[in-house]
Amino acid sequence: MKPSDVMKGAPPSAEALVTRFNWRKYPHSQWSFRNTRQVLPTADIRRSSTPSALTSSVCDLSAVAFVADGKRTTLAETLAQTYADGLLVMQRGKIVSEWYGEGMTPHTPHLVCSVSKSICGTLGGILVERGLLDVDKPITHYVPEMASSVYGGCTVRNLLDMTVAIKFEEDYDDPEGDVVKYRLCNGWDVLPNGTAQGDQRSFLATLRPSGGPHGKVFHYVSTNTDVLGWVYEKACGKPYAQILSEYIWAPMGAEDDAYITLDTHGASRSAGGICATLRDLGRFGEMIRNRGLVNGTQVVPGSWIDDIHLNGDTRAFANGDLAFVFPSGRYRACWYTVDPARLDLAAVGIHGQWIYIDPTTDTVIVKVASQPNPMDIPIDHRWLAAFRGIGEALSKSFI
């Protein structure tokens, strides 16, 4: 079945119908990733009443060529061959290219999976500046309910940098692994017959330590960022979606409401549940490129952005479980530094979601997709080469 056939008809055929049994499986995911709130409960992340203006100076980038995995290819070929749903390229604050696939428009929110983590990590800097959060305090200072779990011995900084020594394997393909239990508690999967519905926060409290010390090894586990969102809620006394709207989405001038998925108890999936438009994700990335500034207003502390660029434990990352993705990389406040020599930042989500920020070429690139496999490193590396190729082409030809 073609993606364009999904959810067609009144009603759709059984084969074309999107349900919680198939919503993350291609080709159904190509529809559900842009219609997630029709599958799961959600909360709005409210837009600005005065959206920041976006200017355009559009050029044709389809012929931009680059080498990936030893082969020369183009942007047009890569868009066609990698299940892409949308691409937005900005340079120095202007939109220079915008492409939308099946069912996508400039005002269509798309699920961004773990790009949500980088948004969450950015929010932390604002809360620190406002005196609402101390990253060196133990998690239990904010969430005492975590005392008997692995999180009872961690700091907020350990959450931000993924250095919690937790017994949890983020294996998306293990049919009986930790990720399956995690998705069930969040309502992302259908429960087996006779199984009672759990909830996110109760599940988080059951997680146990690996036996190693916290703060020494990068270990990528999504539950860490869900705990971080819970810490923010306790610190602010408000739901996560409202905090995100008040401190980032509205102040940065978002044009459209975003939204975030909820479990059955109303807990936000701050680790991976945000759905947003490409233009607003571009606004967010441009704010990061400008050290937190939006039209002269400091939305995110510049020192927080500097810390993301310059810090992060390279040794901890090298000893961690994603060093093969970014061999010289590091991780700080839920952002990847891909190459410390060029200080390029990446927010990355499974199934092909990216925000890429390159200070050397003044570019911000947003790409969303519905790749069939949660992790597809050859495609990720192909797109990383594409991002850099786009930046180099813009720098040479259009400045």
DSSP output for 243-269 = HHIIIIITTTT-SS-EEEEB-TT--B-
CA distance 146 to 36: 30
Q: Same domain for 53 and 26?
A: no
pTM flag (> 0.95)? yes
Q: Same domain for 28 and 38?
A: no
Q: Are 379 and 352 in contact (CB under 8 A)?
A: yes
Q: Same domain for 26 and 166?
A: no
- The CATH number covering residue 288 comes to 3.40.710.10
Domain total in the chain: 2
**Residues classed as catalytic:** 114
pLDDT at 197: 84
Straight-line distance from the first to the last Cα atom of the chain, in angstroms, rounded to the nearest whole number? 44
Q: Are 262 and 242 in contact (CB under 8 A)?
A: no
Q: Same domain for 14 and 70?
A: no
Q: Same domain for 80 and 196?
A: yes
**Residue stretches of the chain with pLDDT short of 70:** 398-399
Q: Same domain for 25 and 99?
A: no
Beta pairing class for 110-111 and 65-68? unpaired
E strand residue ranges, 19-83: 42-45, 55-56, 65-68, 71-74
CB environment 203-225: b (16+ within 10 A), e (fewer): bbbebebeeeebeebbbbbbbbb
Q: Same domain for 118 and 236?
A: yes
Model confidence over 91-113: pLDDT tens digits?
999 999 999 999 999 999 999 99
CA distance 135 to 88: 33
Q: Same domain for 116 and 249?
A: yes
CA distance 188 to 132: 31
Q: Same domain for 203 and 215?
A: yes
pLDDT at 335: 98
Q: Are 163 and 219 in contact (CB under 8 A)?
A: yes
Selection from 326, 366, 319 nearest residue 342 by Cα: 326
Burial-class residue 193 by CB neighbours within 10 Å (0-12, 13-18, 19+): exposed
pLDDT at 399: 41
Q: Same domain for 260 and 317?
A: yes
pLDDT at 192: 85
- In angstroms and rounded to an integer, the radius of gyration of the C-alpha atoms of the chain is 20
Selection from 337, 325, 320 nearest residue 215 by Cα: 320
Model confidence over 316-338: pLDDT tens digits?
999 999 999 999 999 999 999 99
Q: Are 273 and 229 in contact (CB under 8 A)?
A: no
pLDDT at 62: 96
One-letter amino acid identity for 143?
Answer: V
Q: Same domain for 194 and 300?
A: yes
Q: Same domain for 2 and 77?
A: no
What is the span of the domain harbouring residue 13?
1-32
pLDDT at 193: 79
